[in-house]
Amino acid sequence: MGQYVAPIRDMQFVLHEFLNVEEELKAMPDYADVDADIINQVLEEGAKFTSEVLFPLNHSGDREGCHHDAATHAVTTPKGFKEAYKQYVAGGWAALACDPEYGGQGLPVVLNNSFYEMLNSSNQAWSMYPGLSHGAYECLKEHGTPEQKAVYLPKLVSGEWTGTMCLTESHCGTDLGMLRSKALPEADGSWTITGNKIFISAGEHDMAENILHLVLARVPDAPEGSKGISLFLVPKFLPNADGTLGARNPITCGAIEEKMGIHGNSTCQMNLDGAKGWIIGQPNKGLNAMFVFMNAARLGVGMQSLGLTEIAYQNALVYAKDRIQMRSLSGVKAPEQAADPIIVHPDVRRMLLTGKAYAEGARAFSSYVALQIDRELHHPDADVRKEAADEVALLTPVIKAFITDNAWIATSDAMQVFGGHGYISEWGMEQYVRDARINMIYEGTNTIQSLDLLGRKILGDNGAKLRKFGEKVKNFVEENGTDEAMSEFITPLGDLGDKVSKLTMEIGMKAFQNPDEVGAACVPYLRVVGHMIYSYLFAQMAKIALAKEDSGDTFYKSKLATARFYFGRLQPETATLIRQARSGAANLMALDADLF
């Protein structure tokens, strides 16, 4: 079923050479002792766990899926999943980036981010169980009461208990303002919650002894819409005062959704039949608290797609070097064989390089944002924290949408490299395509992310956050504009930066007259911004590689070739995207609905 080799060399390049994380972390007292040796050791051990324990379960888990017992409401995960989770907990992986106050190891988000790439490459469906738990940890840490933190956070940090987010209902989907689940107050300070939720990833399973559900519901007399939503902590088993498990709470799995992909993860329909819960934060302010979880999940979904891009590329590359078919157009390359390996063919190389470039771009991008999260949470300078927070807010929807869109492209191309074999399940490639497709949907569809970027994050503050990021791009262009060796990267970067500024202003002016202009332009607009970010990152990485091109390390030659491919073949799609974004709302909205 293929292979997985963690791309440690490229991870080390991004962390040590591109981001210079050791120096960055020294400015944060909580991370001042985290050096290159610690980082490299975590990467190496993470590579062993993911390649040896998780990857062998990926294909079998997809074929077997999860099983629901309607009589008991129990869910059984695929063979080996539960045992792998025990190894994960025993290895301390759940605690990697958690606060030592609650039993965590206190390592930075930027390192945890690299580990999660490995998890998702090796087995996305399995990785969703602990991934959602980390989001629940972040939400409770930020908004929980001292009592809630004391009871629940150590269990989440250790991995003994897992977490979920229970948002969606069948009638409302993304429009959470329409949800109907109800919460009634009790004399002891708890709440009784009734309702039905769908699409709840890891909603029920046999991997941990307890599951903590973070549930959105309405309290009595709540305002209509999203302003009347509250957030509740609803455990599967109610904890006793000493932390042991008590009574079974009536929040149960009614069915498992039959999905296109991620079959190894139990996506559940959850029924709350008077379940006992405790409010998190203030009544009617639940979305504010849940956004901590949702934003963590959006970053996590970007990492899922990076993982899939990498694993699909790796296996397509191995296949292309081994599979022989036809002869090279420029002459025989393997005369000792009946045909040449398909990697000699230009279009096969295009597909492989697309995966390579999108994986390396996503790795740099996600690591960059993860480092900004560390700065936002741990830097001693308030101005630095504020600047980092603004940048994370701006880039989060791009992380989610751009990386997941690119993974759909890259995994499809990787499957195509296999020809007909790519569509046969035993080769494993079609699973990556199926798994990648869902990432464009959940935790806010990519259209929602595009609306968030353009409408809220950019036009909402008159472009202030975007201008700050644009200044970084502009400064880099000016600093390197006279370097002839960098011109092939700097010229298209500078040109795209100017076009993004003009496009943003044009759409903003149109939106004053017609709000539909934002909805019409937002999806191509986000891809343009995504390419501007990747152009900025690839240009910086190319500068490092140019300086070391003659070092004898072929890694840098490969990095340069990938950057050149990106600027020559992928970035130019921005010309079409800009024309699409500028074309306006009229060609979308003119046709009456009954004429479709």
Active site residue 204: no
Q: Beta strand pairing status for 75-76 and 210-217? A: unpaired
CA distance 492 to 91: 46
Q: How far from 209 is each of 66, 85, 136, 435, CA to CA, in Å?
A: 17, 12, 16, 27
Q: Beta strand pairing status for 161-166 and 75-76? A: unpaired
Which of 443, 471, 478, 549 is the catalytic position?
A: 443
Cβ atoms < 10 Å from Cβ of 420: 7
- Helix, strand, or coil (residue 325): coil
Task: Note whether 524 and 581 are within 8 A (CB).
Answer: yes
Give bridge partners of residue 324 from the DSSP assignment. 341
Please give the structure tokens belonging to residue 498: 């100017």
DSSP 8-state class, residue 341: B
Residues 6+ apart with CB under 8 A from 2: 311, 314, 315, 318, 427, 428, 429
Amino acid at 353: L
CA dihedral 350, 355, 361, 367 (to 10 degrees): -170
Task: Note whether 415 and 64 are within 8 A (CB).
Answer: no
Q: How far from 566 is each of 12, 106, 353, 542, 560, CA to CA, in Å?
A: 21, 36, 8, 11, 10
CA distance 108 to 31: 7
Q: How far from 40 is each of 35, 165, 285, 375, 545, CA to CA, in Å?
A: 9, 33, 41, 21, 21
CA distance 120 to 117: 5
Question: What is the secondary structure of 63-76 as a DSSP string?
Answer: HH--EE-TTT--EE
Name residue, tokens 């994380």: 21
Buried b or exposed e, range 516-539, using 16+ CB within 10 angstroms: ebbbbbbbbbbbbbbbbbbbbbbb
DSSP 8-state class, residue 541: H
CA distance 469 to 353: 28
Backbone angles phi, psi at 481, to 5 degrees: -65, -25
Name residue, tokens 């107050």: 185
Element (DSSP H or E) covering residue 247: strand 245-248
- Helix, strand, or coil (residue 339): coil
SS (H, E, C) 76-131: ECCCCHHHHHHHHHHCCHHHCCCCHHHCCCCCCHHHHHHHHHHHHHHHHHHHHHHH
Q: How far from 475 is each of 386, 485, 494, 530, CA to CA, in Å?
A: 20, 18, 10, 19
**Hey, which residues are catalytic here?**
443
